[in-house]
Amino acid sequence: TIDFREFMLALHVTSAGTPEEKLAWAFRMYDVDGNGEIDFNEMKRTVFAVYEMVGTPADMTKAEELFKKLDQNSDGSISQEEFITIIKQDQDLLNVLQNTA
């Protein structure tokens, strides 16, 4: 299976820009309806699409865990600020984005 760290590594390898620009791009990919927030259905849809792309059965718990981690204020949606802030606090993911992993 592909986890979120591996997804971020693929994002790093396939795109140019600062870590913030890469995270903003990743946020827009999850924000399917473009309203500036990621709800659980958008998270689930994107996570399942990644699983489908790599030929692995979808795992609802992965989508739930990721959503819970990124929804910092537990309001049921993830803002771009929450998305970027939380990921930047994860040193492993940040290292990947900064090409130090």
pLDDT digits (tens, 9 = 90+) for 51-64: 787 788 878 888 89
Residue 76 has pLDDT above 90, yes or no: yes
More confident residue, 34 or 8: 34
- Model confidence at 101, pLDDT cuts 50, 70, 90, reads very low
More confident residue, 85 or 49: 85
Provide the Cα torsion 49, 35, 68, 29; round to 10°: 30
With H, G, I as helix, E, B as strand and everything else as coil, classify residue 101.
coil
- Model confidence at 90, pLDDT cuts 50, 70, 90, reads confident
DSSP state letters, 22-91: HHHHHHHHH-TT-SSEEEHHHHHHHHHHHHHHTT----HHHHHHHHHHH-TT-SSEEEHHHHHHHHHH-H
